[in-house]
A and B are shown apart, each in its own frame.
Chain A
Amino acid sequence: MASNKECLIIVLDVRNCAAEEFKLKSVKCVAEIIKDKIVSDKKDYVSFVLVGCEESNNELYEADNSVCQNVLQYENTQLCTWQLLLRFFKFVNATACDEGEWLDGLDVAIAMLHSAQPLKCARQRILLLYDFNFMTQRHDDYDKICSKILHENIELIVGSHNIAYIDNAETNQPQAIFQFTRKSNIHELENQKHALQLVSNCNAVLCSFKETLASVFKVSNRRPWVWNAKLHIGSQISISLQGIIAMKNESHIKLKKVWGEDDELVEREERFVIKGTEVTPLPEDLIDGYMLGGTPVPYDETLVELPPAHAPGLHFVGFVKHSSIPDAYFCGDSLYMLVHQKGNTSSAQKLDALVRALIAQKCVILCWKIFSVKFNTPRIVVLIPQESKDDSPATLYMQELSYHAQHQFWDFPSLRTEKTECNKDQLKAVDNLIDSMDLECTLKDTQQPRQRRKNDLLPFDGLPSIFEQNVMDVLEYKVISKKKDEELFDEMLKQKNFVDVFWRVPEPIEEKSKQAAAALKKLFPLEHSYAWLEKLKAKEQEQNPAPAIKQESEDTITINSVGLMTPVQDYKQLLQKVRSELNTTKRDAQFQSLAAQMRVVINTLLERNKLDLNQLNEVIKLYRDSCLEFNSFAEYNQFANQLKTKASERNLQEFWHSIVVEKQLGPLVLGEPTLEDELRLKAFYTKPEFEADDAGFQGI
């Protein structure tokens, strides 16, 4: 595979005279670059050069001590690792002085790129972060260095803090300028002039800090991966094309997943189960099949003749009007761009003619895409024409469509009803919100220099990957602080700035938008529905009642369950907690869980060989009383029946007569017992069948 790795040398200004804010920002900028390369596992090489150090140490200085003084070079270029990031933080704190020339820094960087040539990087870049301030700088070598950069195809990106953008009056393209915030001295103007001229002299990109990272990350690829295919229209017309991924929704974070410790063996295994029971069938016992409703249907090549594979390529279906294709049916995770086969002039001309004809007819092509013999599932795609431009030939964008079987049809009531009708003031307030939150136009009227290259507060081609950024920040924090995990995350959670920074309206329109929203709020009454809140609560409780409550009780109570040693005290204590719960639903649920524990305890006590009758009397009575208190009649009565069965099974005559019957621990009765109740009670207290009746108790 074509390698697109790069070699990047970052030149930083650390002179004492450079603005502190500038220095902090440039270190942050470098850290972002390294983090990005680590996390996305790029094979790029990076190194650093500091300008303005007391110490002079670099390749050129070593050869000739009269040149490139006060320039400190980091070791050789390296792959990005967390280790490198930590070392960089140390390295950048080298003792600084006021002397140092940015051209020397560039010279050293070029020399470093030379020594890195054996690494065979496809691209060589230098990032210069420099404060072009009032200090004098020598510009003797300016032309020489510019021509070196130009001729060696080195891309140069220059970032500084006081750069802004205006639209060039002639070309209407954004142009970088230095902001005149205070009175600049002659050296400063001279420095800035030379920096600006880098753009024309060696195609350098000059950017503000906000744009620097975007410029560094915006890497164009000359040798992308291609999918070779032919577009057939009928059998005569065919055009050789190459598909290139233009956009893909993918994660760039690549972290190594580990399942076990170093000395452990990790294996993925397959297990077979029939209705929950594990089985180990022989391969020949099994046949592949599909579920048809509730019926399994065996299906393999011995039973049906499978159709032959389709031929790879693009099979034309028809031309359709572009407007008839709803983009809501676009699916997949990527957008391909189809371009003619590289170096094939005939196919280039055919594609150019086809694209221009399609645009003239406002049509797109509908066709089947067969990726390869292996990935043979046909996908229906549309090919959308894109006319040739200065920097690209005619192309077709290929977009996958979903199938009819997948489509959903919704029935949405219309929005324009009497109930939702708005008056003039309300619509005006909405208009006001739209105008005051305009991301494009606020800056258009004034020719003020701006921070971003585009006249747009949120350009669509520069949207950040928020989650990836958050992960990088967390990892960086973790690597730097090396604290214990829990502490670390609590700290991270407290300072959520790095997350919230994305969740806010762009600063220039923030204040105006707040006012517009406040005006809107006055005109549109909004109210939280209580019915809905209640419903939500009920639903939540229905879904997970037990665990939530258990957790809560575990949190607040010193003992968390009824033990066998002191069941009476435990139960009393826990019962007290339950009583203190104000929410009745929660209280009942807590009681039920507590009661269940108590039943287990009583059952366990009854299992013992030698029964402690006093204790049993106490616990059962306590439990019975609590059931009375919490209206838990049915549960107790059921339990009482269990007691009776148990007594009979284990022949616990003494327990039955002296505890249950004598102390009247039988079923509970609500209010005054009716005749029916009394009969029921009588039936309960009649002795159960004991194996050998003890004469002493026969009279009862």
Chain B
Amino acid sequence: MSTWDPERDVELTDSEDEIAMKRDFHGREAILFVVDANLETERFMDALRLIRGAFISGMLVNGKDLMGLVFANTKHSPPPQEVQCLENITVSANCAIFLPLRQLTKAIVEHFMDFMQNAEELFPKEYGLAEPDGRGSFAQMIRLCIEMLEKCGKKLNNAKIVYITDVEEPHPPSSPEFQTALQKASDLEGKEFEFQVIPMIDDFDYEPFYKEFITLSRAIEIDAFRVPDAQLQREILEDRKLRQDFLRRCLGHFTLSLGPNLDISVQYYNYFQRRAYPQKVHIMRRDNSVVRKRRQIMVRQQDGQTQEITHEYQIKMTGGWYECKIGEEKLRVTTEQLNRVRNLHPPGMMLLGFKHRSTLPTNSYSKPCSFMYPDDQKIIGSKRLFRALWQRCLERAKIAVCLFMCKRKSVPRYVALVPVEAAQPDDKNYRSLLSGDGFKIVYLPEAKHIRHIDMCDWNSTANTATDEGVDFFQKVIRKLSVDYQPNLINDPNLEVLQSNLLALALDFKTEDDGLSQLPDPAMQNKRIEKLLPTYETLFMPEVEPAKKRAAKSNADEASAPKVAKIEQEQLCSYDFVELLIKDKRLNACTAQQLRYILDEHFGVKLPKTATKAVLIERINALSVDC
């Protein structure tokens, strides 16, 4: 098994994870929830529950995100708990800020949960519904949101306004307010803020207003709008997930070269993020302050005679150099030089040719796939050529083979571009959320990554099962078939940790059956109960093949103490020990025995870390002194 050895290690960094991490430094993500006061009590409470879910999962999954909450179309505008946040913000009429954009803390979530408890009664009294028709100015609401996002005091990388409503048009279509509202979409586009509407009804019609508003705010053609499924939108929002706008959150832009002087601009995305565990920290017991641990490498020069440190300096992880030996001579290769080797070719993708889709091996894997979509902003006209290529590849079942270097200092890789299509509008399952029209980037394993295994030791004619055996398993498969529902599969260890954290911090109890768990075999037994007797007749009981040697993991045998070459009793006599020293036979003693000699005859105890060589040296030195 290959294990990681820091002594001999070259790090290759081209994982998307790292890119995603670096992006965090460019600013934070912000979600501003806006809840329409027009929602009837039940739907309103559902909306608040959605937000609570989003708050909690936001705290757990990505603690640095900023979140805010505004009520729209209210009669009154009571100030939020943190009144001073309104100092430089003008609250529009018929809007009320409940929470300005903040990184969530225990106190904020508790405050929200307190509010939720009595919201049914308090909300109509304290906030009320805008008069006369429950229609406050939509444009003013958007203005307030923009102001809040702009003045949140943090650099934002990705800001979203999430409007929860069940009203299909905020103003009558002929009214001037309707037009003003539409104009606000271009403000959002200019500021690169994203707008999403989460309908609290399933048959929500986007046509009258939101289709145009959303396409305008994203600067896409109106016929490219795909109607999202309302129920799915709500479900994923509770996990603090939103369908992300393709323009804002790509992993990177690059050019795809189709030939000499024929480049189109594209961008690429990941299908999933790196695994996010809550951030582990050290906390001071006395005042709960967070202690950060830093690892660093110190290099010290020591004076040969006095053992004093003459010079001391710290080096970065990226410091140091690589060494190769030519005989006695040592050559140095600095990390900077290795980086230059990586940078010998500029980033980008180059088309090498096409193959039939069937040539892509089914069981082949190198790293997670990405998704590629055209970008008309850099090279105008890219989208059309991209579409033509995509369409023809799709229709002719072709894949494009390319060489791809995603960013500077990364490693060039061969990829296959597989055309994929968005799900049909009536497709309502999770799979429909996977991606849209574009190319899936499949990373191809390099020849060196494929291991060739000679299976001759496994091959045997006796391996083939009887047809009855196959029938048996077919029946088992029918009994134990399930649907793949990705939304039900989560890391059980993470869920336990998260529910414990919530219980500790917020006294918030998660129901046990809400947690993902390893399946119960008893349930499975029950379903195939009738089949099991056949199993025993069809297949012989398994006989473990005899092991050639004891496995090392078996603690009793492997770590059995060494048999001493010299008997313990003899060591009691100093004469014998002296003889050993004289004949230089101390090596034959175990470390345990050497310690005994030191203790018994010289009255010296050495630290446990002392090696055998150190022990022997000490005994020799002491014996000379005697």
Contacts and interface: CB of A to CB of B under 8 A. Distances in A.
B525 A290 contact: no
B301 A264 contact: yes
Contact of B472 (A284, A286, A317, A353): A353
A405 B392 contact: no
B463 A292 contact: no
B522 interface: yes
A310 interface: yes
Contacts of B453: 220-222, 224, 244, 246, 337
Q: Which of B374, B393, B464 has the most CB of A within 10 A?
A: B464
Interface in B411-469: 411-414, 422, 431, 433-438, 440, 443-460, 462-466, 469
20 contacts: A1-B1, A221-B451, A237-B476, A256-B323, A258-B320, A268-B295, A287-B282, A291-B281, A296-B290, A393-B459, A405-B491, A407-B271, A407-B433, A408-B269, A411-B226, A412-B373, A412-B438, A457-B353, A467-B411, A513-B259
Q: Which 4 A-B pairs have CB atoms at the shortest separation, nearest pair first?
A: A517-B259, A412-B436, A413-B224, A318-B482
A186 interface: no
A342 B455 CA distance: 10
Interface stretch (A98-106, A354-362, A561-569, A686-694): A354-362
Nearest to B478: A361
B300 A273 contact: no
A462 to B, nearest CB: 5
Interface string B83-108: 00000000000000000000111111
Interface string B346-368: 00001111111001111111111
Nearest to B414: A463
A284 B284 CA distance: 9
Contacts of A256: 7-8, 322-324
Interface string A377-413: 1101000101010011110010101111111111111
Contact of B364 (A221, A247, A265, A293): A247
A361 B474 contact: yes
Contacts of A275: 289
A345 B462 contact: yes
A315 B447 contact: no
A294 interface: yes
Given A346-B541, A407-B271, A464-B447, A293 B105 contact: yes
A420 B401 CA distance: 24
B122 interface: no
Interface string A303-321: 1100100100001111111
Contacts of B261: 517, 521
A696 interface: no
Given A357-B471, A378-B518, 18 more contacts: A217-B447, A221-B454, A247-B445, A249-B366, A264-B300, A272-B291, A295-B106, A348-B460, A368-B519, A397-B363, A409-B241, A410-B246, A411-B243, A413-B226, A415-B224, A418-B221, A458-B401, A499-B344
Interface string A156-179: 000000000000000000000000
A532 B378 contact: yes
A272 B361 contact: no
B293 A271 contact: yes
A304 B502 CA distance: 12
B341 interface: yes
Contact of A248 (B225, B258, B443, B451): B451
B162 interface: no
A59 interface: no
A236 B528 CA distance: 10
B278 A290 contact: yes
Given A267-B297, A419-B221, A439-B354, A406 B275 contact: yes
Interface residues of B, number: 224
Interface stretch (A89-97, A112-120, A195-203, A327-335): A327-335
B59 A320 contact: no
Contact of A269 (B242, B286, B295): B295
B447 A267 contact: no
B233 to A, nearest CB: 9
Interface in A70-84: 81-83
Contact of B436 (A235, A326, A414): A414
A342 B447 CA distance: 27
Interface stretch (B34-42, B133-141, B380-388, B562-570): B380-388
A180 interface: no
B239 A404 contact: yes
Given A248-B451, A408-B270, A465-B446, A526 B353 contact: no
A333 to B, nearest CB: 6
Contact of B284 (A259, A285, A321, A416): A285
Interface stretch (B68-76, B146-154, B330-338): B330-338
Nearest to A41: B8
A611 interface: no
Contact of A391 (B345, B362, B459): B459
B351 to A, nearest CB: 7
A343 B456 CA distance: 11
Nearest to A426: B388
B63 A352 contact: no
Contacts, number: 672
A639 B540 CA distance: 94
B82 interface: no
B322 A255 contact: yes
Contact of A257 (B6, B385, B431, B493): B6
B245 interface: yes
B448 A437 contact: no
Interface stretch (A13-21, A427-435, A580-588): A427-435
Given A272-B291, A479-B326, A529 B377 contact: yes
B236 interface: yes
Interface string A500-513: 10110110010001
Contact of A272 (B293, B298, B301): B293
B431 A326 contact: yes
Contact of A290 (B281, B391, B433): B281
A417 interface: yes
| A interface secondary structure, majority | mixed
B295 to A, nearest CB: 6
Q: Which of A259, A292, A330, A414 has the most CB of B within 10 A?
A: A292
Contact of A255 (B333, B388, B471, B488): B333
Interface in B273-322: 273-276, 278-286, 288-302, 304, 315, 319-322
A344 interface: yes
Contacts of A295: 105-107, 505
Given A337-B453, A513-B259, A328 B539 contact: no
Nearest to B541: A346
Interface stretch (B45-53, B542-550, B615-623): B542-550
A413 B458 contact: no
Given A293-B58, A299-B501, A344-B542, A257 B320 contact: yes
B470 A360 contact: yes
Contacts of A401: 486, 489
A233 interface: yes
Contacts of B127: none
A471 B380 contact: no
Contacts of A485: 334, 337
A340 B63 contact: no
A250 to B, nearest CB: 7
Contacts of B491: 377-378, 403, 405
Contact of B355 (A237, A412, A440, A493): A440
A341 B482 CA distance: 28
A48 B247 CA distance: 59
Interface string B485-510: 01111111110110011111100000
Interface in A519-569: 520-521, 524-529, 531-532
A224 B452 CA distance: 9
B278 A225 contact: no
B349 to A, nearest CB: 11
B331 A479 contact: yes
